[in-house]
Chain A
Amino acid sequence: MMTISKRHTQAELRARRTRLVTVACLLLLFVAATLWRAPLSAAVWHILRPVVEARFGSVAPLEAERAAARAALADRDALYEENVDLKARLDRDARVERVLAGVLLRPPATPYDTLVIDAGSVEGVVAGDRVASGGTVLIGRVSEVYAHTSRVVLYSAPGERYDALLRGAIPLIVEGQGGGSMSAQAPAGIMVAVGDSVVLPGIAGGFVAALSHIERTEAESFVTLYMRLPVNLFELRYVEVWKEPRHDSI
């Protein structure tokens, strides 16, 4: 009886020791994840990237699509270059260096309004760079950069707030609502209509959204503007990362 009891106690002690060691390891991992989140994320994505590419398609097949997209944007590029040239004649350099990147994960693969793209610090991406879905349609900014991948927070992500201009002139504070939707408040007296464009301020600018709905309430001094990102997030295949404008002398 005493032998059985002793074995039972030893087994209990072993189990308790194992549990304590596991909890200690988890605590260490938690502290490490809090203090060194970016390097750990980089390591995790370094391991996950081949899995994601195997599941959602690798970068190589996207090259053909990229070439087709570049050709389709050729006439838009011509107008854009003319716009940049006109600004340069007024002594403002609005040229933007761009890095093309494939989208590895997009909603609903990611639980928040974020994208994971296949360009990182090696490709010249820096945290804070703006991200466009093609042409001058801006959709978000780079929040975290790893070696060969980056995380992009969309402008429609819940909690995101940024300054924008309605029709290029009326200042707004746009707030993300999730799922590609955004909202803003504007004084009740201004003339505004569905379809009006919202752009980011700055010499390089960038189109963000078009108004999809206007909510007016009588006796209220503000109207609520609702807008959506002009791209289908669930089918986004590639994006352009806008580098900071160059400051070369003309």
Chain B
Amino acid sequence: MTASSRWIYAVTFLLAAAGFLLPFWPLTVVGIVLCALSGRWLFAVAVALLFDVAWGAPTGAGHFLLFPFTALALVAGLARLIGGHYFLDKSPQETL
């Protein structure tokens, strides 16, 4: 794990936890989306699943979503995958 990965994991988890403790749930959304958009979508999905289990399913029309934060993390991860294919650096310098 690189140092930048550790920072991203730590910052996004802290953002999500701060959203729970402040309390201000949009901060949790920001943390999950940032984590997924930075490419660490597995961690984002795990954190989102935890919050979905804690907060329960949404009420009203969103009830069919069951796990809205997890769905958001997956959508953000997909956006990163598709967006990265078109917009991110196509000439990585890691390979020799």
Chain A interface (Cβ < 8 Å from any Cβ of B):
19, 22-23, 26, 29-30, 33-34, 37, 40-41, 44-45, 48, 51, 55, 105, 108-114, 143-144, 151, 153, 157-160, 176
**A204 CB to nearest B CB, Å:** 24
Q: What is the bound-complex CA distance between A110 and B52, given in angstroms?
A: 11
**A174 CB to nearest B CB, Å:** 13
Q: For B54, list chain A residues within 8 Å (CB).
A: 41, 44-45, 48
B56 within 8 A of A: yes
**Chain B: interface residue total (CB-CB under 8 A):** 26
Contacting pair B59 A157 (CB below 8 A): yes
Contacting pair A33 B53 (CB below 8 A): yes
Contacting pair A33 B59 (CB below 8 A): no
Q: For A34, list chain B residues within 8 Å (CB).
A: 66-67
Given contacts A30-B70, A105-B23, A109-B23, contact A23 B60 (CB under 8 A): no
Q: For A112, list chain B residues within 8 Å (CB).
A: 55-56, 58-59
**A196 CB to nearest B CB, Å:** 25
Can you name 13 A-B residue pairings with CB atoms under 8 Å? A26-B45, A29-B46, A33-B49, A34-B66, A44-B50, A110-B25, A111-B25, A112-B55, A112-B59, A114-B55, A143-B56, A144-B56, A176-B60
Q: For B58, list chain A residues within 8 Å (CB).
A: 111-112
Q: What is the bound-complex CA distance between A104 and B55, given in angstroms?
A: 12
Which residue on chain B has the smallest CB distance to residue A51? B21
**A182 CB to nearest B CB, Å:** 12
Q: What is the bound-complex CA distance between A158 and B63, given in angstroms?
A: 10
Within 8 A of A (CB), among B30-83: 42, 45-46, 49-50, 52-63, 66-67, 70
Q: What is the bound-complex CA distance between A111 and B26, given in angstroms?
A: 8
Contacting pair B42 A160 (CB below 8 A): no
